[in-house]
Structure 1
Amino acid sequence: MNPIIAILKEHNVTDAQINDVFQALTQNPMMAMSIIGQLGIPPEKLQQLMGLVMQNPALIKEAVEELGLDFTKVEAAQAQLKK
């Protein structure tokens, strides 16, 4: 299991909420951060989660593929942020 998804599940985040987070990542990464902040994950685990994402962005791609979402939308959102 993807470590991002594992941390979310460890904190009783439902599959629907996980899908919402990654759906938001594919459309608007800043919105996804807001959603993640509302999940009630303790700050130290949230920091660990963000560290994983920052050190290994490929984990997002793996999680998106594991959830069956479209990674090309994530890439498009990332390109939009770089502008």
Structure 2
Amino acid sequence: MNPILAILKEHNVSDTQINELFQTLTENPLMAMGTIGQLGIPPEKLQQLMALVMQNPALIKEAVEELGLDFSKVEAAKAQLQQ
């Protein structure tokens, strides 16, 4: 299992919440940050999660694909943020 998904499940984040989070990520990455804060994950685990993503950004792609979502939307959202 993808480490991002494993951390979320470890903190009792439901499959529905995980899917909603990644759906938000594909549509609006800035909103996803707010959603992550509402999941009730302890700050030290959030730091661990962010460190994982910073060290290996491909984990996001793997998680999106594992959830069956469209990664091209993540890329499009990322490009929009960089403009």
Shorter chain as normaliser: what TM range?
A: over 0.9
| Per-residue Cα deviation, 1:20-79 (whole angstroms, up to 9, x for no partner) | 110011000010110000000000000001111111110000000000000000000011
1:34 is matched with 34
Amino acid at match of 1:18: I
Look up the SS of the partner of 1:40 in the other structure: coil
**1:25 equivalenced with 2:25 (yes/no):** yes
Extract unaligned runs of 5+ from structure 2.
Answer: none
Amino acid at match of 2:72: T
Which stretches of structure 1, 4 residues or more, deviate above 3 A after TM superposition?
A: none
1:56 is matched with 56
Structure 2 CA distance for aligned equivalents of residues 64 and 72 of structure 1? 10
Aligned identity (percent) is 82
TM-score (norm 2): 0.98
Structure 2 CA distance for aligned equivalents of residues 24 and 60 of structure 1? 13
Extract unaligned runs of 5+ from structure 1.
Answer: none
What value does the CA root-mean-square deviation take over the aligned residues?
Answer: 0.5
Q: How many aligned residue pairs are there?
A: 83
Amino acid at match of 1:50: M
**1:71 equivalenced with 2:79 (yes/no):** no
